[in-house]
């Protein structure tokens, strides 16, 4: 089994208002970052999955997104292998 490093982005659907993002953008624009727009805040979840191969790890990660980490009414999620992060080899 290998331990795969995964990263998930959970973001509000585009039709859902994001007051925290709007407030952050207003402050940022006021303080000199006027080139910044369309700011939206989401969640990031980093985790590892022990699996026999990358396809199995991705399948577990997608199921985790569907069943636990994202609210399907308001949110969408994307998940990918995080090549940059250290991945341990876990025994056999």
Which residues are near its own copies by CB under 8 A?
3, 5, 7, 9-11, 21, 24-25, 27-28, 31, 33, 35-51, 60, 63-64, 67-69
Do 14 and 49 meet the contact criterion of CB atoms below 8 Å apart? Answer: no
Nearer of residues 28 and 81 to its own copies, judged by Cβ: 28
Q: In terms of CB distance, is 73 or 84 closer to its own copies?
A: 84
Of the two residues 63 and 73, which places its CB atom closer to its own copies in the complex? Answer: 63
Q: Rounded to whole angstroms, what are the CA distances from 38 to 9, 28, 32, 33, 43?
A: 17, 12, 16, 13, 16
Closest approach, Cβ 20 to its own copies, in A, equals 10
Which two tokens mark 29? 């624009």
Smallest distance, its own copies to C-beta of residue 85, A: 9
Rounded-to-integer distance, Cα 12 and Cα 55, Å? 26
């Amino acid at each position: 089994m290998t331990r795969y490093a995964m990263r998930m982005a959970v973001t509000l659907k585009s039709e859902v208002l994001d007051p925290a993002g709007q407030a952050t953008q207003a402050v940022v624009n006021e303080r000199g970052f006027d080139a910044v727009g369309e700011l939206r805040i989401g969640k990031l979840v980093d985790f590892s999955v022990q699996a026999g191969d990358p396809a199995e790890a991705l399948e577990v990660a997608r199921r985790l997104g569907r069943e636990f980490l994202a609210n399907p009414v308001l949110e969408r999620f994307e998940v990918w292998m995080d090549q940059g992060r250290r991945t341990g080899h876990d025994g056999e």
